[in-house]
Amino acid sequence: MTTRLDHVGVTVRDLAAQTAWYTTAFGLKNVFAFHLEGPGLEGVVLEHPHGWRIELLARPGSVPGLRAPDPLTAALTEGYGHFAVTTPELDPVHAALLAHGAGEVVPPGPSPEPGVRMAWVSDPEGNLIELIEKNVAQHADRKAE
């Protein structure tokens, strides 16, 4: 079976503000927006130039769910706790996200995975985002094996 992750869905309080933040902070393009009249659900699908997508959803009457302050606290609640993106240069991406209003959660440092560095930030509504920098040479060696 061949599968590929298509997108991550995040329910937000302020769809317009979060759409503006994600498009600016990550350089995402608005692919399409939608409105489902019955449940009153609005959404927007945003896409990165490298193909990964995020779907932001908003519905009147929604209430805050998990807003863990860090990944270890998020791991105490079953279910989705964050999404992760990779970057070839962790430090400048981390700094740029902070400059765009992301919250600092865990500064850049080593990951539990050998040859990988990571950092964690939160979007303006507190949703956790993991940033990953993989050692390209190490991963190329693995593919050759």
Between residues 78 and 73, the one the model is more confident about: 73
Rounded-to-integer distance, Cα 10 and Cα 19, Å: 11
What per-residue confidence (pLDDT) applies to 140?
Answer: 41
Rounded-to-integer distance, Cα 118 and Cα 78, Å: 22
Average pLDDT, the chain: 89
Q: Are 35 and 41 in contact (CB under 8 A)?
A: yes
Residue 40 vs residues 16, 34, 117: alpha-carbon distances, Å: 15, 10, 41
Residue 61 vs residues 11, 74, 113: alpha-carbon distances, Å: 12, 24, 40
Domain boundaries, the chain: 1-63, 64-145
Q: Any idea what the Cα angle at residue 110 is, between residues 106 and 114, rounded to 5°?
A: 145
Asked if the domains at 1-63 and 64-145 fall in one CATH topology, the answer is: yes
| Structure confidence at residue 141 as a pLDDT band (50, 70, 90) | very low
Tell the CATH superfamily of the 64-145 domain: 2,3-Dihydroxybiphenyl 1,2-Dioxygenase, domain 1 (3.10.180.10)
Ramachandran angles phi, psi of 26, nearest 5°: -110, 0
Q: Which fold has domain 1-63?
A: 2,3-Dihydroxybiphenyl 1,2-Dioxygenase; domain 1 (3.10.180)
pLDDT of 54 above 80: yes
| Structure confidence at residue 134 as a pLDDT band (50, 70, 90) | very high
pLDDT over 90, % of the chain = 71
pLDDT of 86 above 60: yes
